[in-house]
Structures are given as C-alpha cells and as structure tokens.
Amino acid sequence: MELLQSLLLHALNAAFLTLIYHIAIGIHRLLFHPLRKYPGPLTAKLSGFYGAYYAWGRNLHLKTWEDHKKYGPVVRQGPNKLVFNSAGALRDIYQNERITKSRAYLIAQRAPSVWGLFSTMDRQMHQKKRKLLGPVVGNRSLQAFEPTMIDQVDIFLRNLLLSCQDNSSTPVNMTERFSYLTMDIMSHFVFGYPLNLQSETVHRFMTRSTPNIFLNVALQLPFLSKIPVSYFRHIRALLRGSQYHNTQTKMIKARLAKSSHAKQDLLYMSDTLQIPEDDNTFIEEARSEATFILLAGSDTMSTCLSALFFYLSRNTRCYQRLVSEIRSTFRNGGEIRSGSRLASCRYLRACLDEALRMSPPIPGTLWREQVLESYSGTDPLVIDGHIIPPGTEVGVNTYALHHNENYFPEPFEFKPERFLSGDVDIDKRAYEGFAPFSIGPRGCIGKSMAYTEASIIVAKTLWYFDFEQAQGEAGELGKAKSCGLGRMEERIAEYHIRDVFATEHDGPCLNFRPREHYAHDLGKVP
C-alpha cells in the first residue's frame, strides 16, 4: 500500500513539474520570444501542433491564406516559424545564399548515409546532384525521350476514344486518367521501365499519395527531425506497402542489368549517384531519388492538367480561344511536338500558368532556415524588411501568394489573359508573384520538361477531341468544398485540391466527343 502511495505521489509530482515546465515555455513564447511581436493565432505561437492539425486535415494551404487575410503579410505560424506573403519575401528567402532547407526535411531521409535531392540540406551536395542531373532533363535528353512520351500520350488518347464508342460518351474522371498517364511517362523517363498503368491494373497502387500527408504533418513539427532516421524507415515501408517497395526495387535492378547508356533515362543516374561497392546502399539511394522524382514528375503534372481541364470545361470563352489557337497552328495531330510551333501557342502557355496559379501542385510552404555558419556574420538576415532571429524557419506559402490580390486581382477567377495583358507593369507583377516551381537554386529542375509534357498533352487532346462538363452528380466532381475555411463564397468556382505537401484531388468528370475524321488517325498509331 505504501509503495502504491509512493508511486502515485511521484507520478503527481512528475505531472506537476511537467505542467509547470510547459506553462513556463508558453509564457516565454508569448512574452519573451524573439518572434513575440509578430501576429498569428495564439495556438500557433504556443505549438507546432497548430500547423500539424491543419496539415492532417489537408487544408493547411487554406488556413494559411485565411491567416494572411486576418493577420497581414507576415504571420507567426509556429513558435519559431514566420510565413510571408509577398514577392519580395519570395526572392529574399529562396534566392538567398545564407538560407538552406529547414532541418525538418531530414524526416524524408531514408537512411543515415543516404541523401537525396529532396532531403539534403548541404548546399554543395545539392548543387553537385543537381549539376549531374541537369543534362538528363536538358533539351537534348528531352528530345531523345519525346517519342516515348508521345507514345504514352497516344495511348491516353486512344483510351479516350474508347469512352466515346457507340455515339454515347461515358464520363471520364480526369484525375484517374492523368495519374496513370503521367506516372507511365515518368516510369519510362526515370527507369526505362513500363508500368503500363493506362492499360493494366497491376501497378496502379503506385499512384497512391497516402504517405505524403504524413510528410506534410511531420514538416510542421521540427522536433521530429531529431529522431533517428532509421525509425521512419519502417513507418514509410508500412505506409507504402511491400508492393511499392518491391516494385521500385524491381525497376532499379532491371535498369542496372542494362548497359548504363542503353537508354536515355534517369538511371543514367548510375553516373549521377555513383554506384558504390555496396549494391544495397546504391539501391536505397536510387530508391530515395526515384520516390521523389516519380512523384514530383507525375503528381504535380496530374494536378496541373486536372485543374486546367476543370477550368476549361467551365469557361467557354477560354476553351474556345484555346481550341482555335491549337487547331489553327497545326495541320494534323502528328505535328504536335516540341518546337517553335508549339512554343508559339502563347494562350496555351497562359492557360497552363493560370491553372498552376490557381491550383499549385505544391500548395504549401517550403520551409527554410538560416545556414548555421552565417550566424556569426555581422549583418543580420533580413526578409522583406524584417530582421530574422537565428533559428527561425521562414517560408512563403504558394497558395496564399498565388491568391494575393496585390499580384492577381480577382484571384479566384480563371483568367489566362492576366499573363498576356501586354501591360509591362501588370505582367511583371503577375510573374513576380508566380512560383509554382519555386525559385532559386532549389527550384524545380524539371520545369522545362513539365511545360513541354503538359503542352503536348493538352494540344493533342484538343486537336482530336471536344469535351464538356459531365451532367448530373458526376459533373460536380472537382468543385471546391466547404471545410469551414477559405471563404467559400470566394472559392465557389475553384478546383478542389487538398494539401498533402503535394496535392490530392478528384475529377473533373468530362464527356469527350471525337472530332469527325481526325480521330480516325488514332487507330493508325502503332
């Protein structure tokens, strides 16, 4: 009995001391912290669980936009976090040699000795990897890969044609179709390996984005980066499942069995990653890069294309102008490939940019922090006129910036013309606030490929088909939904994306009609 009472007393004492500790921490963060002057939600000032809560709800991008509306262009979104909403901050953060990736990204590291392009904080290591990958996504490499890309696009088009048989169109869920198409393209580009998602069901589990939400939650809780990375390996394996792990390993080993130059794919990474004596280490490093590149090249492209087709199906004027541009530029579908004629389709590029603006594939905040070595410098770190204390994480929320009325008037209206105004000041302001691929040394290395791929897909689809919003309940898929955030009256015409670091989305559902005579060419494609 005495032992039980003693244990109970010790437990109460421990609980009391823990309570006192957290109260003291809370008082410090509210009254004495270097960031105490910055406005923000009370719970965000006290704990990183504020961001984690909304990340778990997949709507942190909307909450951040709402917080900027309430508190202004600089918001304290965590005890040591400041999120900005200006083009000046965008430049000051992401084009700054004194700033590197936040340590929170260490949770994406697959093993202690394995550093990927996404997870590495070291700027020299990142630059080295990027320099080696550069030629693989350069113009010469993309030209060599383009026939493979077009083959996959033609499969996509033939599948659309199947949905139009017997003069009755079956609604097509564009999220599903674009997910399969873009992953098929990237599997060929990265490994020269055919996943065949468009024609077979075996590997379609590869398009699931479930683990992304856990990454997004973890990024809001920097203390997790101090946990040994090996602990997260088992969690990632559980979330992805053995199928995902085994398929990646099979893809990597199949590529390694070929000559290093057998095909111009990214495992040409055999040069980039520099195969060590330990094959298992190499496979783990290759898997680290592959996971990032596959998702970066497929999930983001699927979001852009799904959003664009959603907006085109609901904006007749924009749809007709784009159709007219494409069908007057090319004489047949076979001519649609990269080159001067495709580049001359300026309205097509404007439509892609507007879809990327309204529905950014990475809608959240890419957190950064000051490089440790620069703390000893005499000049303080200044972001958009604000002196930033050491140890502070800073970033710009892409969704919030893309819906900032200072750069994009009527931000919830689909207006591709805003990128073609002809007014130098307006155009400059729009592009200053436009960052779907981020900017600076860690900006998306595949930006050129993304525009080429998206342009070919959209142009070929509109050459062979007309489409419209499906009728009834199916036609409502993709519309913005009320989640208690984001001022629904403004978002009513918006494509619904959910923030999981990348995005989750569903729809739109569209009915396609083949253009008479022209669509017969699709049957001739081998």
Q: Which of 14-28, 107-121, 447-461 has the lowest mean pLDDT?
A: 107-121
Confidence of residue 324 (pLDDT cuts 50, 70, 90): very high
What is the average pLDDT across 392-409? 96
> Which residues, 6 or more positions from 493, have their beta carbon under 8 angstroms from its beta carbon?
314, 412, 413, 414, 480
Residue 3 lies in a domain: no
Task: Find the largest Cα–Cα distance for the chain.
Answer: 93
What is the average pLDDT across 186-196? 87
Any alpha helices (H) in 257-278, and if so which ranges?
Answer: 269-272
User: How many CB atoms neighbour CB 466 within 10 A?
Assistant: 13
User: Pairing mode, if any, of strands 509-514 and 465-469?
Assistant: antiparallel
| pLDDT at residue 375, as a whole number | 59
384: left (phi over 0), alpha (psi -120 to 50) or beta: left
Is the pLDDT confidence value at 26 over 90?
no
One-letter amino acid at 19 equals L
Phi, psi torsion values for 389, nearest 5 degrees: -65, 145
Q: Which two tokens stand for residue 291?
A: 């996971």
pLDDT digit string, tens, across residues 307-317? 999 999 999 99
Helix axes 174-191, 139-162, angle to 10 degrees: 150
Q: Which residue would you say has higher pLDDT here, 207 or 64?
A: 64
| pLDDT at residue 140, as a whole number | 80
Strand spans (E) along 198-255: none
| pLDDT at residue 525, as a whole number | 44
Q: Which of 59, 92, 54, 58 is nearest to 73 (CA)?
A: 92
pLDDT digit string, tens, across residues 199-252? 998 888 888 755 578 888 888 987 776 665 555 555 555 555 567 777 777 777
Count the domains in the chain: 1
| Long-range CB contacts (within 8 A, 24+) of 40-48 | 40/67, 40/71, 40/75, 40/76, 40/77, 41/67, 41/77, 44/75, 44/76, 44/77, 44/78, 44/81, 45/76, 45/79, 46/79, 47/78, 47/79, 48/78, 48/79, 48/81, 48/220, 48/221, 48/222, 48/223
3-state SS assignment for residue 201 = coil
> Which residues, 6 or more positions from 115, have their beta carbon under 8 angstroms from its beta carbon?
109, 122, 125, 285, 288
Radius of gyration for the chain, computed over Cα atoms and rounded to the nearest angstrom? 25
Q: Which residue would you say has higher pLDDT here, 393 or 263?
A: 393
Confidence of residue 41 (pLDDT cuts 50, 70, 90): very high
User: Pairing mode, if any, of strands 381-383 and 386-388?
Assistant: antiparallel
Is the pLDDT confidence value at 441 over 70?
yes
Is the pLDDT confidence value at 102 over 90?
no
What is the average pLDDT across 429-452? 91
| pLDDT at residue 285, as a whole number | 64
Residue 42 lies in a domain: yes
| pLDDT at residue 301, as a whole number | 94
Is the pLDDT confidence value at 504 over 80?
yes
Phi, psi torsion values for 46, nearest 5 degrees: -90, -30
* Percent of the chain residues topping a pLDDT of 90: 51
* Percent of the chain residues topping a pLDDT of 70: 79
| pLDDT at residue 25, as a whole number | 81
Cis peptide before 508 (omega within 30 of 0): yes
Average pLDDT, the chain: 84
Q: For residues 126 and 274, what is the distance between their CA atoms, to the nearest angstrom?
A: 15
Phi, psi torsion values for 117, nearest 5 degrees: -60, -35
Is the pLDDT confidence value at 272 over 60?
no
Residue 317 lies in a domain: yes
Highest mean pLDDT among 115-129, 202-216, 381-395: 381-395
Residue 348 lies in a domain: yes
Q: For residues 79 and 183, what is the distance between their CA atoms, to the nearest angstrom?
A: 38
Structural domain that includes position 70 = 33-524
Alpha carbon of 469 to those of 11, 118, 261, 475: distances in Å?
62, 37, 45, 6
Give the CATH number, domain containing residue 256.
Answer: 1.10.630.10
Q: Which residue would you say has higher pLDDT here, 483 or 231?
A: 483
| Contact predicate 478/506, CB 8 Å | yes
What is the average pLDDT across 39-55? 95
Q: Is 91 exposed, middle or buried (0-12, 13-18, 19+ CB in 10 A)?
A: middle
Residue 9 lies in a domain: no
| pLDDT at residue 526, as a whole number | 39
Q: What pTM, to 2 d.p., does this model score?
A: 0.90
Residue 24 lies in a domain: no
What is the average pLDDT across 454-460? 98
Residue 276 CA to chain centroid, in angstroms? 31
Confidence of residue 276 (pLDDT cuts 50, 70, 90): very low
Q: Which residue would you say has higher pLDDT here, 435 or 376?
A: 435
Q: Which residue would you say has higher pLDDT here, 413 or 255?
A: 413
Confidence of residue 65 (pLDDT cuts 50, 70, 90): very high
